[in-house]
Amino acid sequence: MYRKATSKEELAGLIMEQELLAQEAISRRYDKRKEFIVKFEQVKREMLAQELLLYGILEKVRNSDEPKKYYEKHKDEFVDQKIEVSHILIRDKKEADETFQSIKDNRLTFEQAAKEKSIDEKSFDKGGKLGPIEKGLMVKEFDETAFKLKEGEISEPVQSAYGYHIIRCDKILPVGIKDFSSVRMQIENKLYFDEVKELTGKLKEKSGIVINKEKLETK
């Protein structure tokens, strides 16, 4: 409805125009139209809900000592686990299976297979080496397999959206605990969503309102 301001002066002009148009709309009684009142009430309810979520829950969580307490009580959730890995990425499953078998039978070393077969342009010429990776940062299929491997162990081909990975755990690095400052936002978000879920659950139960799923279904 309004053009985008490109300067402070233009922004001030747009604000003035909007205010003048709003006053004119009121003088013409557009604020009394049934359609407007319904829309206004809906917007007001949405804004009130957002105010409750922002100031009643999120700000309360951020300004409390609950995030720190959660961190101290659940440090095992914030393990800074890292390993050094290499991988061979192959697009075709049959070729991936054959390559894995060649490595297993010692017909090819892992490094040779990476240089000859891998389609990962960033690692194939390094013998497949990816270096250190942190748990939770790679694609799910890769991550879950890699962190189950013992040092020196090679996985069977694992499929992801990129193709089939043959993964080797080169080194398991010492485990540490992440600093509170690095996970504070993560904890705040968890506590926020937990509290929102708890509050909405209580409100739904108290209201007694039930959604009729049958009426929502379209023919």
Which runs of E-coded beta strand occur in 51-147? 79-80, 82-90, 129-134
CA angle 120, 103, 106 (to 5 degrees): 145
Rounded to two decimals, the pTM is: 0.59
- Residue, of 175 and 65, whose pLDDT is higher: 65
- Name the helix (H) or strand (E) containing 158: strand 158-160
Q: What are the chain's domains?
A: 79-176 (3.10.50.40)
For 51-99, how does the pLDDT look when each residue is reduced to its tens digit (9 = 90+)? 999 999 999 999 999 999 999 999 988 888 899 999 999 999 999 999 9
Rounded to whole angstroms, the Cα distance separating 207 from 60 reads 25
Rounded to whole angstroms, the Cα distance separating 175 from 209 reads 49
